[in-house]
Homo-oligomer: A and B are copies of this chain.
Amino acid sequence: MVTETTDLPVSYADVVSAAQVLRGIAVPTPLLENRALNERAGGRLFFKAEPLQVTGSFKFRGAYNHISRLDPQARRAGVIAYSSGNHAQGVAAAAHYCGVSALNVMPEDAPAVKKQGTAAWGARIVTYDRYGAEPREAIAERLCQEQDLSLVRPYDDRLIMAGQGTIGLEIMQQLGALELEPDRVLVPCGGGGLTAGVATAVKHHRPETAVYTVEPQGFDDTARSFAAGQRQNAAPDAESFCDALLAPEPGLLTYQVNSKLCSGGLAVSDGEVAAAMAAAFSHLKLVLEPGGAVALAAALAGRLDLSTGITVIVLSGGNVDPILYAEILRGT
């Protein structure tokens, strides 16, 4: 039984095409196993290490898949993106490699490391007040019109979802080389683009694999949406230090994909995320940002029974302020 995804806003063929575009450009990140973390989680885990990706997060994959396909006129005019920081860096790097100028709309309180990372690729930055009257989408749309730029959406876009989906392809290939298959895949979820891409790739190869979203508590709008059967908002007063995963609601397109392909949504506390970041330091020797650690946090906190079969944990990014990270290490 193959899950039919051709009626969805991203297809397996889109993911395969993205993998061809990204060959030799994106890092085929390693899939790591660690005995101590297996013991802590009570099952066999594999970790997809996207902090090692260009720009330190998975976002480069989708951004390059989108920008590299723009026509010559659009390339000359340049691109614009809105992002809490990782998509901004992905767009900035992809634009750099494609010889395209990039403008990024970022929240004023985005981590300095993400603003610096974006600027280092030669992109311009416009900041906005995360709690202000004009939403970032509106600011970006306005600038888009004024300057005739192409908007590169962070998740609600076929090429973006397909690019992120190359992670799912690599997971299947890397496990396949070990003659293994995943029983479940846990994916950090903000707007849902990463989940949509990964689920599209994984479920094509193995429909019985369960894909779960993992979100910060309060920002578990995707989990609530799954439960309600329609798109729900995050809690209005929610707070989390997972700055990459603060999207207020699931994307329109991503929700179409994820509501069909996912088995459920999990949520973790900031404390559980901090513990996961410390565990990744000690055992995987990887730097994770809070949003990049939520799936590991769900595994270590026992949100699912992982005692049977193979579990894949997507570690989605590592762009974290060193002082915050030092505080987490000192707290353990």
Taking beta carbons and an 8 Å cutoff, which residues of A are in contact with B?
24, 27, 29-30, 32, 35-36, 49, 51-52, 56, 113, 120-121, 178, 278, 281-282, 284-288, 318, 322-323, 325-327, 329-330, 332
Q: Which residue of B lies closest to A57 (CB)?
A: B285
- Known contacts A287-B287, A323-B329, A52 near B32 by CB under 8 Å: yes
Given contacts A282-B322, A322-B332, A329-B329, 9 further A-B contacts (CB under 8 A): A30-B52, A52-B284, A56-B285, A285-B288, A286-B286, A287-B287, A322-B329, A323-B329, A326-B327
Q: Is the CB of B318 within 8 A of A329?
A: no
Q: Is the CB of B120 within 8 A of A36?
A: yes
A-B contact pairs, 26 of them (CB 8 A): A30-B52, A35-B120, A49-B52, A52-B286, A113-B282, A278-B322, A281-B287, A281-B322, A281-B325, A282-B322, A285-B286, A285-B287, A285-B288, A285-B318, A286-B286, A286-B287, A287-B287, A322-B329, A322-B332, A323-B329, A325-B326, A325-B329, A326-B327, A326-B329, A326-B330, A329-B329
Q: Is the CB of B318 within 8 A of A323?
A: no
Question: In the complex, A178 Cα to B278 Cα: how many Å?
Answer: 34
Question: In the complex, A296 Cα to B287 Cα: how many Å?
Answer: 17
- Known contacts A27-B30, A322-B278, A52 near B330 by CB under 8 Å: no
Q: Which residue of B lies closest to A327 (CB)?
A: B326
Question: In the complex, A281 Cα to B35 Cα: how many Å?
Answer: 23
Question: In the complex, A120 Cα to B39 Cα: how many Å?
Answer: 11
CB of A39 to closest CB in B, whole Å: 9
Q: Which residues of B contact A29 (CB under 8 A)?
A: 30
Question: In the complex, A120 Cα to B332 Cα: how many Å?
Answer: 19
Question: In the complex, A322 Cα to B35 Cα: how many Å?
Answer: 20
Question: In the complex, A327 Cα to B325 Cα: how many Å?
Answer: 11
Q: Which residue of B lies closest to A49 (CB)?
A: B52
Q: Which residues of B contact A329 (CB under 8 A)?
A: 322-323, 325-326, 329
Q: Which residue of B lies closest to A121 (CB)?
A: B35
Question: In the complex, A15 Cα to B56 Cα: how many Å?
Answer: 33
- Known contacts A27-B30, A29-B30, A30-B27, A52 near B285 by CB under 8 Å: yes
